[in-house]
Chain A
Amino acid sequence: MRYIEPHGHMVSRTTDDYQDMVTAGCAAVCEPAFWAGFDRSSVDGFHDYFCQLTDYEPKRAAKFGLPHYSWLCINPKESEDVKLAQEVIGIIPQFIDRPNVLGIGEIGLNKNSRNEMKVLELHVDLAARTNSLILVHTPHLEDKLKGTRLILDVLRSDKRIQPERCIIDHVEEHTIGLVLDAGFWAGMTLYPESKCSPSRAVDMLDCFGHERIWMNSACDWGVSIPLAVPRTALEMRRRAWNADLVDKVIFRNPAQFMSQCPKFKLPQT
């Protein structure tokens, strides 16, 4: 079995996790910029973080033979401070051409505030100006439905944005239809306590088909499982999915989306 982890916050994980993922068949990992669990106090903190995502972490992954890609942004959880967000967005062009950077992400909304909307629009503008792919975080729990609708409104109102070059992540049963119907890609995040379980993810694949969908663990410093994608492949096998369809969902689909960025090289497996 081979798979791509299209959304993993590897700076929060141990080398044991890298070993386990590669052993389970991981062929590439992609790391969106994330909130650190505390608010960074200045743009310099983000500069260092972007260096980590584009220089240090790819080297750490390479020690395990794993190609590492990244996405850059200021996370929606830190978007209430618009001035800081503007400064951070201002330094992203210094990093956007680095060889492992696929695009802008994970941008989006957290509590659906006006300032978060403003910062989302700034990120979308940057992605449009740099012809970058976009990875979008949708809010948690009770805020997800409203946030997903607002995000779709922002993306659709910018005529430069092509839906097939954007993935809207963390969809659940009440938002996946909105995302796919609008022509965007949908990401299902497999978490043990929130978002989506393996059985629910496969239910959604049964109901919504297998096109423009990927699955990820979004493993980070919180409760999360770095092997959630291969464990969901086991769930597919429990339901007698054939190997080719499993391969499409966990390897070829994310490869198809990310190959829209010429810097993404299809992993040799």
Chain B
Amino acid sequence: MTRQQVLDQYFIETRHKLIDIAAFLDRADRAEGEADFRLDAFRTAIKELSGKKPGRAEKVLLAFSDPTTKPIAKAHGKGACGAWSAKG
């Protein structure tokens, strides 16, 4: 695909997704109470979007990922929350 074709195919839907992200951050700002580590992780990941080099999707995923290498002692629950916290 040419760059022009990419824009023709994907600009409107991606613009829509970007505004959704902005609205989510506004919603979180308007809300009361303390945030948790997920909002910080989100803000850190967003910085990857303004990078000049390719691989942004990978870098965003890495920003949310557990960087440790050893198995945990025990699984407490089954779900994942989408961001990693050093505090566990």
Question: Given the complex of chains A and B, what is the CA–CA distance between A114 and B68 in angstroms?
Answer: 14
Which listed residue, A141, A150, A172, A199, touches B81 by the CB 8 Å rule? A141
Residues of B within 8 Å of A144, CB to CB, are 61, 65
Inter-subunit contact B62/A145 (CB<8 Å): yes
Inter-subunit contact B72/A145 (CB<8 Å): no
Q: Which residue of B lies closest to A139 (CB)?
A: B80
Inter-subunit contact A203/B57 (CB<8 Å): yes
Inter-subunit contact A112/B57 (CB<8 Å): no
Which listed residue, B9, B67, B80, touches A140 by the CB 8 Å rule? B80
Given contacts A80-B75, A113-B72, A199-B10, contact A142 B84 (CB under 8 A): yes
Inter-subunit contact A116/B75 (CB<8 Å): yes
Question: Given the complex of chains A and B, what is the CA–CA distance between A199 and B79 in angstroms?
Answer: 26
Closest Cβ–Cβ distance, residue B84 to chain A (whole Å) = 4
The verdict on A265 contacting chain B, using a C-beta distance below 8 Å, is no
The interface size of chain A toward B, counting residues with CB under 8 Å, comes to 30
Which listed residue, A116, A173, A199, touches B71 by the CB 8 Å rule? A116
Given contacts A145-B62, A174-B58, A174-B62, contact A238 B71 (CB under 8 A): no
Interface of chain B, main secondary structure: loop
Which listed residue, A80, A117, A200, touches B57 by the CB 8 Å rule? A200
Question: Given the complex of chains A and B, what is the CA–CA distance between A139 and B66 in angstroms?
Answer: 11
Inter-subunit contact B71/A112 (CB<8 Å): yes
Which listed residue, A116, A145, A238, A239, touches B66 by the CB 8 Å rule? A145
Inter-subunit contact B71/A117 (CB<8 Å): yes
The digit string for B67-88, where 1 denotes a CB below 8 A from any CB of A, is: 1110111111111111110000
Interface residues of B in 28-71 (CB under 8 A from A): 55, 57-58, 61-62, 64-69, 71
The interface size of chain B toward A, counting residues with CB under 8 Å, comes to 28
Interface of chain A, main secondary structure: helix
Residues of A within 8 Å of B1, CB to CB, are 239-240
Which listed residue, A115, A141, A149, A239, touches B75 by the CB 8 Å rule? A115
Inter-subunit contact A141/B9 (CB<8 Å): no
Which of A173, A238, A240 is the most central at the interface, judged by chain B CB atoms within 10 Å of its CB? Answer: A173
The digit string for A117-153, where 1 denotes a CB below 8 A from any CB of B, is: 1000000000000000000000111111110011000
Inter-subunit contact B69/A149 (CB<8 Å): yes
Query: Can you report 12 residue pairs joining A to B where beta carbons are below 8 Å apart?
Result: A110-B78, A111-B72, A111-B80, A112-B75, A113-B73, A115-B74, A142-B64, A142-B82, A142-B83, A144-B65, A174-B58, A174-B61
Query: Known pairs A114-B72, A140-B80, A203-B57. 4 more at Cβ < 8 A?
Result: A110-B75, A111-B78, A113-B72, A199-B10
